[in-house]
Structure 1
Amino acid sequence: MGDLTLDEELFLISRDPESGRDRSTVGIDVPLAGAVLISLAVAAAITLQDGRVVPHKYASLPRAHLQDALALLAESDRPRKPSHWLNRLPRKLSLQETIGVGLAERGIVRDERVSFLGVTVRRFPDVGPEPRSSLEGLVAAALTGREPDPDPRTRLLAGLLGPADLVKKLVERSERRDARKRATAFTEETPLGGEVAEVVAAAQ
């Protein structure tokens, strides 16, 4: 998976490799914001206190959009619940576009603009099979149980695929029921995973 951050990994899996469209039926914004918050939590840049997100000064986050997210949290007049940021971060930081452009600059996806009825949208199809192939292989093995003890990072990512409704994109139909159960278990052990699932369910 190289130097991809958790949110970049989730973004890559969420796109159709050829068209570059979001292939999550529930939309990727909230799970993507969840991945950003989880990345900040793992880096000790935020903590949860009394169910609210508390930002901390941190100087070595690996991506500019993570720094921007932390700065936005710090600008708030008071600590707020994760659900607030799960809805706000995608709008304020244009997460899909920001992450997609960052991956395009590193040659992982292409930054394409498509116009339809006067509206221009950005899409991010893959440049080549990697790193998607390796990434999806690891996550699929975790979801199907072929890898009985996946590493913590793979568990985090697999846990986000449940709320994003992306399990079916990686697992054959005959294995999806058990895979969704594993994804739910991973979600429950993931920091903020429950909040992501609740916000997605509320939006639906």
Structure 2
Amino acid sequence: MSVTIAEELLLLAHSEEAGKQLVDSTSLNLALGGALLAELALGERIDLEGRHVVVKDPTPLGDGELDRALARIVEETKPRKPDWWVNKLHAGKLRDRLLTRLADAGVLTEQQGKVLGIFPSKRWPEADGTVEAGVRERIASALGGSDPDPRTAVLVAVMHAVKLERKAFPGADKKRIKEIAEGEWAGAAVARTIASIQAAIMAGAVAAVVAAGAS
């Protein structure tokens, strides 16, 4: 089946059997917004003019979430930087919609539960491992020294931005991951998007520390 880069990220961000999330929700949400933006750039729907995102081609790509994101960019009347869009695109429960879509497609299973017997929670164990296996095979090839295709390079870079590789690929060569994440495999617009994810995550971490210190 065809999945977005954001969905590939989600598969890697959940343990296969227990369906538990491997990174914090704030970082993951930002990464998902960035993954959508990066995929629009790969699809030659958006680009950069100076420091701002611009629409190159408003034609839908045929995926509901990507087309929703593209429509929002088309409708925006003010010039916006990639970091603004990284934050904007993850709003509106994007993560839940993508997880539900993967469950509807039979890739994941949605399991309802409660934390401490009170708070509602969900787990997303894998139902069909073939999609993630294909993703892992592409990444393993790139980590082993092969030149990554732009899509795989974006996925590695986004994964690195949220430090997911430490959980998803614990034995991977850190130098090689950094080399792929910082390479110009997919153009300037994508590189700026990845940098924006990292900046947004860092800003969120700083804000959390400040808030904790003030409490």
Q: Percent identity?
A: 25
- Distance in 1 between residues matched to 2:198 and 2:168, nearest whole Å: 19
Deviation of residue 40 (structure 1)? Answer: 1.1
Task: Name the structure 2 match of 1:74.
Answer: 74
Distance 1:65 1:184, change over 3 A: closer
Q: Which amino acid aligns with 1:151?
A: D
Identify which of 174, 197, 209 aligns with 1:177. Answer: 174
Superposed, which structure 2 residues align to 1:38-57 within 5 Å? 38-55=38-55
- Distance in 2 between residues matched to 1:125 and 1:42, nearest whole Å: 30
Distance 1:69 1:160, change over 3 A: same
Superposed, which structure 2 residues align to 1:19-168 within 5 Å? 19-25=18-24, 27-55=27-55, 58-92=58-92, 94-116=93-115, 118-143=118-143, 146-168=144-166
Q: Which amino acid aligns with 1:119?
A: F
Q: Looking at both structures, which has the greater relative contact order when contacts are Cα pairs under 8 Å and sequence separation is at least 6? A: 2
- Distance in 2 between residues matched to 1:172 and 1:121, nearest whole Å: 27
TM-score scaled by structure 1?
0.84
TM-score scaled by structure 2?
0.80
- Distance in 2 between residues matched to 1:166 and 1:183, nearest whole Å: 15
Distance 1:65 1:178, change over 3 A: same
- Distance in 2 between residues matched to 1:111 and 1:87, nearest whole Å: 26
Task: Name the structure 1 match of 2:209.
Answer: none
- Distance in 1 between residues matched to 2:119 and 2:185, nearest whole Å: 39
Structure 2: unaligned runs, 5 residues or longer: 206-215
Q: Which amino acid aligns with 1:42?
A: L
Structure 1: unaligned runs, 5 residues or longer: none
Deviation of residue 196 (structure 1)? Answer: 1.8
- Distance in 2 between residues matched to 1:186 and 1:24, nearest whole Å: 24
Deviation of residue 91 (structure 1)? Answer: 1.6
| Cα contact 2:60–2:70 (8 A) shared by 1 | no
Q: 3-state DSSP class of the match of 1:131?
A: helix
Q: Which amino acid aligns with 2:203?
A: A
- Distance in 2 between residues matched to 1:99 and 1:142, nearest whole Å: 26
| Cα contact 1:110–1:127 (8 A) shared by 2 | yes
Distance 1:62 1:11, change over 3 A: farther
Task: Name the structure 2 match of 1:16.
Answer: 15
